[in-house]
């Protein structure tokens, strides 16, 4: 859950690495550090806290501009508290090797005991220092960095992406990966290694995505890719990235999260591009054309992606009559799931690197079940490992709290439902036209209404900013949206919130209702409106205040009705979702929270 960058080239390396870290800070931000060779020795500068603390430390570190090779790291703690000592880079016992690492070495305690028995000592609580000193120990016996790294990694169990610097070869970097992302950037007279493409995108668009079990060696004008176990060379074809660094900038918005909420109309347009036949109105998903309609679809995901999956379950089952199970990936991977002939597994991950989701993907493939990947990042692990892949085309999402990624996942799940329904001949011409025309019109509808939604969210945020808890209620497709609304509020405002199916309120949560415990309900014009209304009357009878997302003309008397444009029922989530996101955003911003980088969270959960 960390951000890594390494640079070999002709520029001052430390500023290049610091610039890259700023674009990777979403991956972790409790400490940061940089290493380079200065006057024949490795200089390591690191600091706890955000990158501004490291920048300040660099100002007092003497000459940092001469080195043209460096590596750097921004950390999200997995072993050891966020202190200077635990920050990366770490050094080997001879202080000749520096390493940065993303992942978890699961057997670090056993390795540490072995190294302690060899007389080595340790200065931190991290698994990374253990691996660094193991590499140094191996190098003392092999005399070769590549052989030492290969030997050390053969002993390491778990996930890692590592980049190493050696003072004896100050213009070279070594790297390897297993179950953590690593990408090579190819420039002119310079090369890069990083956790993600934005780290070096201002300098090059030519990239090579490194696969599990591969080692990379770079200097300014060459690169070498090897099998990490055998050291046999591997040939890889570079890819060209088409989006630019401006896509990862705020574009005048106060926060990335707000920018990404307002990007959702464009996201829908991009998701639909080339996926609807304008002559026939049929959905086109050529990526999965070879697959039949599943007997059962098992959706495996975490967090917001799992709520998108729950929403998709409601739509797919209703429109296409395909049974859908939604499994939390961290449970699925250990549950010995029953997967039958005719089943298909759909793994959903914005980053394509979510550790538990990848484990679920690999388990399903081991069982011989076709796996469809639904992800946003081309070249990610899900993209490479799934049997079939649907890309959501949401573009880079920088804010830790996911917004537009869920919108894009919902679009693809809707298209999947329509594709299944068409294949089974279940949709009437009128209903299919209503879905297709409605989703095609959705970008303009949202463009027109998002500014007004934000105005409403700002007013409500000031009214409810003193609340310490919230109950979110919905039924049918609105229930997963209630879960997501509650998640967004607690993620970025730190206000406790719980999402519930409205009908379950009587089975416990109603005991919490009082005038200081508000309810946020989703009460839209669908077949369940009457049921939701009855649930809200029960809230009002106990003095609870209510915000309700609703539609024009509905008979609903609550404290704060929030009227959204009415659309065909499968599309209602696309109007409710940004309202929920904006409410959470405006409360968090009003309370002065760090919206884009909430405490204790990281964007890409690449460790278990």
Tokens of 384: 């490479």
Query: What is the full DSSP assignment across 262-279?
Result: HTHHHHHHHHHTTTB-TT
Identical fold, 250-427 and 450-596:
yes
pLDDT at 498: 95
CATH number at 450-596: 3.40.50.10490
Q: What does the alpha-carbon distance between residue 179 and residue 88 come to, in Å, rounded to a whole number?
A: 19
| Cα–chain center distance at 104 | 18
pLDDT at 138: 97
pLDDT at 78: 63
Phi then psi for residue 456, to 5 deg, are: -65, -45
pLDDT at 24: 84
Phi then psi for residue 114, to 5 deg, are: -65, -40
pLDDT at 1: 56
What per-residue string of b and e applies to 463-479 under the rule 16 or more CB within 10 Å gives b?
ebeebeebbbbbbbbbb
Cis amide prior to 310 (ω within 30 degrees): no
Q: What does the alpha-carbon distance between residue 89 and residue 32 come to, in Å, rounded to a whole number?
A: 8
Pairing of strands 371-375, 324-328: unpaired
Q: What does the alpha-carbon distance between residue 105 and residue 128 come to, in Å, rounded to a whole number?
A: 7
Would you name the residues annotated as active-site residues? 2, 603
Nearest-10 crossing angle of helices 127-142, 145-155: 130
Q: Is 3-247 a CATH 2.60.40.10 domain?
A: no
Contacts of 599 (CB under 8 A, 6+ apart): 494
Tokens of 87: 């920050």
Q: Which CATH superfamily is domain 250-427 in?
A: Glucose-6-phosphate isomerase like protein; domain 1 (3.40.50.10490)
Give me the residues of the chain with pLDDT under 50, please: none
Q: What does the alpha-carbon distance between residue 394 and residue 404 come to, in Å, rounded to a whole number?
A: 7
| Cα–chain center distance at 520 | 26
What per-residue string of b and e applies to 362-372 under the rule 16 or more CB within 10 Å gives b?
bbbeeeebbbb
- Asked if 303 and 400 touch (Cβ cutoff 8 Å), the reply is no
Nearest CA to 163 out of 151, 175, 148 is that of 175
Strand order in the sheet with 191-194: 41-48, 31-38, 69-75, 3-8, 191-194, 183-186, 206-209, 239-240
Query: What is the full DSSP assignment across 396-448?
Result: ---SSS-SHHHHHHHHHHHHHHHHHHHHHT-S-HHHHHHHHHHHHHHHHHHHH
Phi then psi for residue 422, to 5 deg, are: -65, -45
Query: For the chain, what are the domain ranges?
Result: 3-247, 250-427, 450-596
Pairing of strands 469-474, 496-501: parallel
């Amino acid at each position: 859950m960390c951000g890594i960058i390494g640079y070999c080239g002709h520029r001052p390396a430390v500023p290049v690495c610091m610039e890259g870290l700023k674009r990777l800070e979403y991956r972790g931000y409790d400490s940061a550090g940089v290493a380079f060779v200065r006057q024949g020795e490795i200089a390591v500068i690191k600091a706890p806290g955000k990158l501004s603390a490291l920048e300040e430390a660099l100002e007092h570190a003497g000459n940092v501009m001469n080195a043209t090779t460096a590596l750097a790291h921004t950390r999200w703690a997995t072993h050891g508290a966020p202190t200077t000592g635990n920050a990366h880079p770490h050094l080997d016992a001879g202080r000749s090797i520096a390493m940065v690492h993303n992942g978890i070495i699961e057997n670090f305690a056993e390795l540490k005991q072995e190294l302690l028995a060899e007389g080595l000592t340790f200065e931190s609580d991290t698994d990374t220092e253990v691996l660094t000193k193991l590499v140094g120990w191996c190098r003392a016996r092999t005399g070769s960095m590549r052989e030492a790294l290969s030997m050390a990694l053969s002993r390491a169990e778990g996930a890692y992406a590592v980049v190493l610097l050696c003072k004896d070869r100050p213009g070279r970097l070594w790297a390897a990966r297993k179950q953590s992302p690593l990408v090579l950037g190819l420039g002119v007279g310079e090369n890069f290694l990083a956790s993600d493409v934005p780290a070096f995108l201002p300098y090059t668009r030519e990239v090579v995505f490194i696969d599990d079990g591969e080692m990379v060696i770079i200097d300014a004008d060459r690169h070498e890719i090897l099998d990490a176990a055998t050291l046999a060379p591997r040939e890889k074809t570079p890819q060209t990235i088409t989006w630019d660094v401006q896509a990862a900038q705020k574009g005048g918005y106060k926060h990335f999260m707000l920018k990404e909420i307002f990007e959702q109309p464009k996201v829908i347009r991009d998701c639909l591009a080339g996926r609807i036949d304008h002559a026939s109105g049929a959905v086109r998903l050529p990526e999965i054309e070879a697959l039949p309609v599943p007997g059962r679809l098992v959706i495996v995901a975490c967090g917001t992606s799992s709520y998108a999956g729950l929403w998709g379950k409601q739509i797919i089952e209703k429109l296409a009559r395909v049974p859908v199970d939604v499994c939390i990936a961290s449970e699925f991977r250990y549950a010995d799931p029953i997967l039958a002939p005719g089943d298909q597994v759909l793994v959903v991950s914005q980053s394509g690197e979510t550790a538990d989701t990848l484990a679920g993907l690999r388990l399903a493939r081991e069982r011989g079940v076709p796996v469809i990947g639904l992800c946003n990042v081309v070249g990610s692990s899900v993209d490479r490992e799934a049997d079939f892949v649907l890309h959501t085309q949401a573009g880079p999402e920088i804010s830790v709290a996911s917004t537009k990624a869920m919108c894009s996942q919902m679009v693809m799940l809707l298209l999947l439902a329509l594709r299944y329904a068409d294949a089974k001949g279940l949709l009437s011409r009128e209903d299919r036209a209503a879905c297709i025309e409605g989703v095609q019109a959705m970008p303009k509808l949202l463009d027109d209404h998002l500014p007004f939604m934000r105005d409403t969210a700002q007013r409500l945020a000031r009214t409810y900013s003193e609340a310490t808890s919230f109950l979110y209620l919905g039924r049918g497709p609105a229930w997963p949206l209630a879960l997501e609304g509650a998640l967004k509020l607690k993620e970025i405002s730190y206000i406790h919130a719980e999402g519930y199916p409205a009908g379950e309120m009587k089975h416990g949560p109603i005991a919490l209702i009082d005038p200081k415990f508000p309810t946020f309900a989703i009460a839209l014009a669908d077949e369940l409106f009457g049921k939701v209304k009855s649930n809200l009357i029960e809230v009002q009878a106990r003095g609870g205040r209510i915000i309700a997302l609703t539609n024009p003309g509905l008979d609903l008397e609550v404290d704060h009705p929030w009227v959204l444009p009415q659309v065909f029922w499968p599309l209602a989530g696309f109007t409710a979702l940004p309202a929920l996101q904006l409410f959470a955003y405006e409360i968090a911003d009003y309370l002065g929270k760090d919206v884009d980088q909430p405490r204790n969270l990281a964007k890409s959960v690449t460790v278990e």
